[in-house]
Amino acid sequence: MTTIDMIGQAIGFLAFALNVWGNLALTKMGNRGHVIRLVANAVWIVYSITCGAWALTANHIVFAGINILGYTRWKRLEQDGKIVRDDRA
């Protein structure tokens, strides 16, 4: 395995770890999970481009859009007082 291959694998595992962390954060009353998932999407996009996995690239571009939508909806609900922010999330 070359150094480039090992870097690619490390990026993939970083994206995986961010996915897990983001998903766990989404289970709590807070909006941090959407931000973490956006970072995970960005890392997955870098990883998938380096691997030439174009379906994975498209997948995470769409997921990034979904996370932006979730973030903005959450913020709107916070501003309307319909949910209370839990800073521990």
**In a domain? residue 15:** yes
Residue 71 lies in a domain: yes
pTM reported for the whole predicted model: 0.80
pLDDT value at residue 37: 92
Residue 31 in any domain: the answer is yes
> Does a structural domain hold residue 86?
no
In a domain, 34, yes or no: yes
51-65 tens-digit pLDDT: 999 999 999 999 999
In b/e form, how buried is each residue of 39-75, taking b as 16+ CB within 10 angstroms? Answer: bbbebbbbbbeeeeeeebbeebeebbeebeebbeebe
Residue 2 lies in a domain: no
Residue 87 falls inside a structural domain: no
Look at the chain and report how many structural domains it folds into: 1
> Domain for residue 22, yes or no?
yes
Range of the structural domain that residue 74 is part of: 10-79
